Chain A
Amino acid sequence: MAKPKVKENIIQDDFNERVRRLGLSDETLIGLYRTMCTVRHFEYTADRLYAEGKVHGTMHLSAGQEAVAAGTRLALQTDDYLINHHRGHGHFIAKGADVNMMMAEFLGKDTGYNHGRGGSMHIADFQSNNLGANGIVGGGIPQAVGVGLALQMQRRKEICVCIFGDGASNEGVFHEAMNMASLWKLPVLYICENNKYGMSMDVERVVAKLPIAQRAEAYGIPWSTVDGNDVIAVYETMKNAAEHVRAGSGPYFVEAMTYRYFGHSKSDRNLYRPKEEIEDWKQNRDPIMRFTKCLLRSEILGEEQAREVNAQAEQVILKAVEYAEASPDPDISTLMEYVYA
């Protein structure tokens, strides 16, 4: 496998130059940092709540993948549509979801996004064009064709971003959808968030030819790969891809290389990967750590301020937990609601 080209000092070397070139203000950069911190706190808090027995179901945490969420969001317009996958907390938060409603849904409360019907895996927010996460691996990929088709038929400027994991690229609908999206030149940005494992399966054991993104070639879709733990690189890649899509040139495919810290879900005991590997990613390639270093070195952010932003992010999440815990469960009398419109 072509290992993701992660050099620890790459950001430091050309960080300032890239930021200037991309026209990113200090405020924007601090915003990216804040988003990543918020996602990180959400995920670790979710894990704690689970350990405390406050979570009824399962969850899929994206700690370690925050840069993909934050960088992608920055490259999009507010009204762009999002079709998400099951490990989707980060993308929702980055897109501006209300963490109170997310946390309430996570705890199965009536005040949650789905009135306690969906849980962690199905958060959706139709008001902000977040069309929901999907519990079926790859289930959203062909739906993005429909969203793209509707946008095209309605002559609209928004695009659809469809995010899925490395595992989903082996589903049949992946190939049907790539073909149709390309055929009809639909405004869909496909993002494969390759965190190296589909549950326990290493991508190298299940994908015949890497990178996954080169599969787009077969369907005439332009593609690229990016270091998914470099938030600026993610932003730059997504920005270019989104421009391509928004211009009406058809879909674009990006594969972002990243890594998840937690197991696939709560029942995962990480028997399929060495502890050293997890530690290596955490110690040497963590997206927040890398970005923080850059911000500090470039003096965009002081250490004190960095701590403060991080603490604020944590507070937001703790408040969300308070909100969720104080919220009522859905009334049993509403059991049969929401089945039919």
Chain B
Amino acid sequence: MPIPFIMPKFDMDQEKATIIAWSKKEGDFIKFDETVLTVETEKVAIDVPAPATGTLARILFKDGDMVPVTKVIAYILKEGETLADLPPANSTPLPPKPEPFDRAQGKAVPVPQTETAAQAASIIATPVAMRMAKEEGVDLSKVTSSGERITREDVERFLASKKSVGRVTVAATPAARRIARESGIALETVAGSGPRGRVQSADVSEMTKPIPAPGIHEAEVIPLTGIRRTIAERMQQSFQESPHIALTVDVDMTEAENVRKRFNAQAEKLEQPRITLTALIIKVVAWALVRNPYLNASFNGDSISLWKEVNIGVATAAPQGLIVPVLKSADKLGVSEINLRLTELTDRARDNKLKLEDVHGGTFTISNLGMFGIRQFRAVINPPESAILAVGSIVRTPMVVDENDRIEVRPVLSLTLSADHRVIDGIVAARFLSDLVTGLESPSMLLY
């Protein structure tokens, strides 16, 4: 039997992918794991490797086609097999493992119609049961029969059991449900103000207001679908609603680098991870934020919230897109601890294992593109925060180091602050930057 080549599923809630290009054509010999085509999901382009070694045959979808996951897109002929071994062209091909997935929301998930005639024949069911199964998208092989054959009652029981699994039990008005759905808020996390705790629309609306709520425990997993969309919306909103001002300073990093070296020598002895520059910057930023509360604030339309907590988000490139894990209460932590937590957060981000609480509740964001050699850039504020710090690369630069105009080559770091001018005056922003310069040029006072 030729091996069906299915459109693989890459993401938990991915339903389809678009074929960008086949890199092999029918008749080509392909080796296991070799790239055969490239597809695009909502998030990324992915190379699809061959599931087996053999000859590529009957490509069923062309470049540009959008294909549901688990659908057969081609076949691979094993050695000795010919086109004649392929299943009839009009029969529904059988993917190796139809993967019915449950979604927490309790939505009925249509299981792709996957039975071949042969498989159907091996299942003994009444015609009514077969028709029902077809209509309801039920895989009859998963239905237990109460007698010799699967009857309508068996299918009905199966359907009923499916339904009861994911039933939403939160009491909420339809309007509340709609707003929750639109804003990606889990109703389970909303406190209902209505009778018997029923969630009203206002309860959900309250949560969609731009107030970061430290200590939110919303759900197990960050909903990743449309992360690109979320970024786009937030950036657009930020850029349109908050008037950005940008200020840049250069920092002599000589002392900071020295300090980092000393720390790392010690860390090596203790077999701890090396302190990153970002960790050091976070430490200094946290300190400066405490001194400059307007940088650690949110604009609410008719008021400004100055936050008690200093929760610093760090823009991180993750496989699924930009993500900003938040380091909670950074002002209360030492640089080693910041470093440890940061490492842990970025690791989890890369492994796609962040929890919702890991990304919520930020009060200030740092974006570091220095490792890519970016000298200096301006970042867009991450709403509802009021400022973001763009960290460039350290460049060894000749600079005047004393009153005698002596020139030395020093490691210079360029920092650019974007600030919401509704909250932060230019002079306030300047003071904050000035504090950062002080902190980074004399780090010992903060670290010891």
A and B touch in their complex, CB below 8 angstroms: no
